[in-house]
């Protein structure tokens, strides 16, 4: 075959541009700076367009764009990403709590977004991928280039931290009291 796939900017726009909002939201919550997020997404589209002739039509364009996004963030935007490697042995206080904290019936947008911003970036990215964009674990693992087991572990730990930050303060003064309360449920 002499020619590779012929690419067309109209085709690229049709399959890639509909994911711009998803990419921007993810970038904004990972680098936590709207201007930098715009710059990042702009660059992701430029990179994607440059390699669009290698993209196989019919495969998952959204996952492909997210893979480019994470590659950009992890390799070139580390100062914004502020990566703090969370080792398996390192547990936050929230994660060591032995009980299920009570979650408010109505969760306000600002509260959950604040809580999200407070958890480590490694957890934030898998949570955004699973909860907001509803990617399968296999797709998340491929986009982030990590094993599925690590996706599951980060998701579990991240969600636990998120719940703890959203927890309704109870009259119970400590974990032991709270644990009793949950046992009684």
Partner 1 sequence: MKVINFGEKACEKVRGYFDSYLDNELLVETNHEVLRHLASCESCTQALEARTRVKQSLKRAVEREEAPGILLDSVRRTIRESGRRRFFAHPFIAAAAALALVVSGILAVRTSHLFVPGATSGSEALQALSSEAQQIIQVGLIDHVHCALQLGKWKELISFDQMRQDTGKGALGPEFIGLVPLVKEKLGPDFQIVQGHRCRENHRDYVHLILTGQNGSILSLVITEKKGESFSRADLVAATQASGIPVYGYSQDRLEIAGFETSQFLAYVVSNLDWAGNLKVASTIAPSVSDYLRRLKG
- Cα angle 125-73-120, degrees, rounded to a multiple of 5: 35
Q: How many residues does the chain have?
A: 185
Q: Which of residues 135-164 bind partner 1 (CB under 8 A)?
A: 136-137, 152, 155-156, 159, 162-163
Number of residues that bind partner 1 (CB under 8 A): 56
Nearest Cα neighbor of 94 from 183, 166, 149, 170 is 166
Q: How far is the CB of 165 from partner 1 (least distance, A)?
A: 10
Q: Which of residues 18-37 bind partner 1 (CB under 8 A)?
A: 20-21, 23-25, 28-29, 34-35
Task: Measure the CA–CA gap between 95 and 184, rounded to whole angstroms.
Answer: 22
Task: Measure the CA–CA gap between 129 and 26, rounded to whole angstroms.
Answer: 8
Q: N- to C-terminal Cα distance for the chain?
A: 67
Instruction: Name which position in 15, 33, 39, 60 contacts partner 1 (CB under 8 A).
Output: 39
Nearest Cα neighbor of 34 from 118, 117, 112 is 117
Task: Measure the CA–CA gap between 23 and 141, rounded to whole angstroms.
Answer: 17
Q: Which of residues 56-75 bind partner 1 (CB under 8 A)?
A: none
Stretch that binds partner 1, among 12-20, 60-68, 75-83, 170-178 (CB under 8 A): 12-20
Q: Which residues bind partner 1 (CB under 8 A)?
A: 2-9, 12-13, 17, 20-21, 23-25, 28-29, 34-35, 38-39, 41-42, 45-46, 49, 53, 100, 102-103, 105, 107, 109-110, 112-113, 116, 127-128, 130-132, 134, 136-137, 152, 155-156, 159, 162-163, 166, 182-183, 185
């Amino acid at each position: 075959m002499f020619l590779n796939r012929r690419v067309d900017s109209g085709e690229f726009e049709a399959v890639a541009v509909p994911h711009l909002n998803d990419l921007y939201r993810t970038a904004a919550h990972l680098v936590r700076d709207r201007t930098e997020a715009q710059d990042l997404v702009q660059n992701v589209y430029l990179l994607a367009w440059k390699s669009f002739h290698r993209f196989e039509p019919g495969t998952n364009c959204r996952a492909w764009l997210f893979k480019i996004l994470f590659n950009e963030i992890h390799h070139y935007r580390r100062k914004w990403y502020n990566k703090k490697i969370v080792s398996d042995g390192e547990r936050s206080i929230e994660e060591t709590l032995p009980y299920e904290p009570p979650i408010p019936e109505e969760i306000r947008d600002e509260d959950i977004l604040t809580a999200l911003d407070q958890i480590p970036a490694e957890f934030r990215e898998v949570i955004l991928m699973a909860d907001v964009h509803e990617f399968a674990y296999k797709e998340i693992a491929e986009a982030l280039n990590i094993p599925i087991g690590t996706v599951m572990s980060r998701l579990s730990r991240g969600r636990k931290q998120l719940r703890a930050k959203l927890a309704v303060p109870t009259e119970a003064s400590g974990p032991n009291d709270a644990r009793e309360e949950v046992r009684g449920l």
